[in-house]
Chain A
Amino acid sequence: MTEKYPSIKQLLGRLATLLAVSFALLFTAIFALSNHAAKLAEKSEQELLPSIHEHQRAALNLERLERMGDLVAYGGDISLIRKNALSAQVLAFQPSFDFNEATRRSVRKSYLLIKQLRVSRQRLLLMQKTDSENPEIKQLLDLEDKLQMQWHEEKQGMFELQNQIISAATRLQTESLQQISLTQKQILIVGGCGVTALLIVLASIGWQMVKHLIRPISHASHAMLAIESGQEYQLEKTRYEETSLIYHAVDRLSTTVQTLHDLATTDEMTQCYNRRHFVNLASEMLDQAQENDQPLSIVMLDIDHFKKVNDQYGHATGDTTLKYFALWLKENLPDNGHAGRLGGEEFALLLPGLSESEATDLSETIRKSIASQSQDCADIPGITVSMGVKGRVGKQDAIDGLLSKADKALYLAKACGRNQVISYSTLKSDQVVTDDYRRSPVSSVS
């Protein structure tokens, strides 16, 4: 815990900032675009729409000019001609045609023709009334024909112009609509991208949470379950302060649980299993061996004349003797073998995988080893050990039975002079002592 870890609070802060920034960006973009759309709509209302209407009015006025021109060109009444020519003049100079120079010039050109028609036709009509034989009439009639022909052509031009004006208005309208729909598309695209980006941000936030918070917590929970059932566990390094603290706590807990377990199962002085744990363990292993039909042996041991060691050298030496004894005992055990201190100077071995004769051989080795090692050890007096061996035979063997039979063999080993190993199966039936006999304490014969 000396390492400096970043905290999840900071991670959360960063993620929240990221989220807020993404939201802000998205909303800003959408707001800006919709603002743009609103401005476009406003522009269309304030500029384009009036301009479109201006075009439409000009087209209608052009049509009226054409009608006025028709009445001037073909009307039979002099005051009708005059009236319409006056209207045409006023209309032709109205500022409403000024929106476009070409239109302005074209309209005025049309008006000049109307004016010519008015002048010549008024004169003709006046002359016809006063003097029908006037030689000028033919000339005026020719002129009228010519001007009417020109007017006919002019009207084609005016019709063309009218179409152009209406097309321009339609174009304006289309452009405005296209612009608006383009903006709407932009809003959709930006909105879509923004929402996608937001989802990505949310997903990455979720991933970070899983990676840095949920997964470490789940690992820690599994580790605690493993500790509870006494299994191994592995916690990898975590990046953040809070989860590191949890891991640290789990490690501490594991150590404590191990210590408590050791205290509960181990004899403190000899570091051998205590009686309760040894019997439980032996019972479990016997079950396993019976299930798999594998050999298993129990050896009971007792240090010969241990009382004398205590009496002669004091309890401190007695304790040291027990420690050395346990140490040598364990040195000679196979990897899967276990040693237990059942009480006082009485020990037991649990040897899975070994038949009674193999266990007897091993016991013999141990017996010799202890006798020789204790001779060489300056701290304690030389000691010998008596051992009784019993292996698993049938399926119905109970651990109590095995222990008791090994104990009987031990008793016999003591009875036969100590410092020897006796295998239960080598006993003759008359040598098998009764339970009543066994009940007398081993120490009474040691």
Chain B
Amino acid sequence: MQKLRVLICSLLISFSFSLHATDYYRIGVTTSFQPFNYQDKEGKFTGFNIDIAKQLCSEMRAECEFVAMKFPEIIPALEKGEIDFSPSNFLYTAERARKVNFSIKYYRSTTSLIGSVKDALEDPENLLTDKAKIVAVQKDSVQHRFLIKHGSVNIQAIPSIGTGLKLLRENKVDYLIAPTLFTLHYLQKPENHNLDFIGEPIDGKELSGTVHIAISKKQPELKHEMDQAITRMVDNGHLRAIINQYFPFDVY
């Protein structure tokens, strides 16, 4: 059965290969946040999402090109078809689903508030009602929407999480609200010992859950192809191998 499936798969793959030339995709990525997505000194794209994208392209036998962009630019670019897909830690929201297609999940995450270690035992939802506090949040992220809807703090919309962490260290903002997994690495650095998670991850349905790759609706077949590629990566262990490079446990 398994053998047959492999045979059929490989036949289909070779068939689709012979039908049309190798697919070519433009991938939108943010580059401002080491070590998850950034460009090194030679301009080479590196990081967790980059590795995921590269492996996806290899699974789909497609040629890919990375396009560096800011987070708020990604969904409009997908809508216009300027890029074909983007692995940029998108949590599912109905509003986004109207604009782009979502792949099946490639990992799962929560949202946390980060601030000074002295507030570590506080309840983050209490702190978010303090009008005197300034909270940094990535522009157009689900966390941004959440703050606008539920918080009464001063919101400082920033282009990337990297910027937020820098502002936090320089005491220019009181807190940063961001995906937990991506701030863990930063917090774990010994030089950031005066920063910490504030309480536990914020309980909000829209702030945690499955993370997806956003796909341009101008490429309607790509979602299915992408889902299959992700499933293959789960099955053949490539996804776990990439996850192990960046996280201390399995985040899938």
Contact = CB atoms under 8 A, between A and B. Distances in A.
Contact of A91 (B197, B248, B252): B248
Interface in A67-123: 68, 79, 82-83, 86-87, 89-91, 93-96
A87 B234 contact: no
Given A53-B234, A94-B108, A96-B108, A89 B249 contact: no
Contacts, number: 57
B188 A87 contact: yes
* B1, B187, B250 — most chain A CB neighbours (10 Å): B250
B201 interface: yes
Given A79-B193, A89-B197, A89-B200, A94 B249 contact: yes
B103 interface: no
Interface centre among B108, B249, B252 (most CB of A within 10 A): B249
Interface residues of A, number: 20
B249 A93 contact: no
A68 B234 CA distance: 25
B188 A93 contact: no
A90 B184 contact: yes
Nearest to B200: A93
Given A53-B234, A79-B193, A94 B251 contact: yes
A64 B249 CA distance: 7
Contact of A96 (B112, B190, B197, B250): B250
A205 to B, nearest CB: 38
Interface of B: 1, 108-110, 112, 180-181, 184, 187-188, 190, 193, 196-197, 200-201, 208-210, 234, 248-252
17 contacts: A60-B250, A64-B248, A64-B249, A79-B190, A86-B196, A86-B197, A87-B249, A89-B197, A90-B112, A93-B200, A93-B208, A94-B108, A94-B109, A94-B251, A95-B108, A95-B210, A96-B108
Contacts of A95: 108-110, 208-210
B209 A91 contact: no
Contact of A83 (B110, B181, B188, B209): B188
Contacts of B210: 95
A61 interface: yes
A61 B249 contact: yes
A57 interface: yes
The dominant DSSP class at the A interface is helix
Contacts of A83: 188
Closest 3 CB pairs of A and B: A93-B201, A87-B248, A95-B108
B66 to A, nearest CB: 28
Given A79-B193, A83-B188, A87-B188, A93 B180 contact: yes
Contacts of A64: 248-249
Contacts of A82: 188, 193
Interface of A: 41, 53, 57, 60-61, 64-65, 68, 79, 82-83, 86-87, 89-91, 93-96
A94 B110 contact: yes
A68 B252 contact: no
Instruction: Point out which of A65, A87, A94 has the most chain B C-beta atoms below 10 A from its C-beta.
Output: A94
Contacts of B180: 90, 93
Contacts of A96: 108, 250-252
A79 B208 CA distance: 28
Nearest to A53: B234
B250 A57 contact: yes
A93 B110 contact: yes
A83 to B, nearest CB: 5
Nearest to B250: A57
B193 A86 contact: no
A11 to B, nearest CB: 46
A368 B234 CA distance: 126
Contacts of A94: 108-110, 249, 251
A7 to B, nearest CB: 51
Contacts of A79: 190, 193
A95 B204 CA distance: 12
Nearest to B251: A94
A397 B187 CA distance: 142
Given A64-B248, A95-B110, 19 more contacts: A41-B1, A53-B234, A79-B190, A82-B193, A86-B184, A86-B187, A87-B248, A89-B200, A90-B180, A90-B181, A91-B248, A93-B110, A94-B109, A94-B110, A94-B249, A95-B108, A95-B209, A96-B108, A96-B251
Among A64, A87, A90, A93, the most chain B Cβ lie within 10 Å of the Cβ of A90
B171 to A, nearest CB: 20
A303 B124 CA distance: 151
A68 B208 contact: no
Contacts of B108: 94-96
A91 B187 contact: no
Contacts of A68: 248
Contacts of B1: 41
A415 to B, nearest CB: 114
Nearest to A84: B248
Contacts of B112: 90
A41 to B, nearest CB: 8
Contacts of A93: 110, 180, 200-201, 208
A19 to B, nearest CB: 34
A57 B108 CA distance: 13
A64 B251 CA distance: 12
A79 to B, nearest CB: 5
A96 B210 CA distance: 9
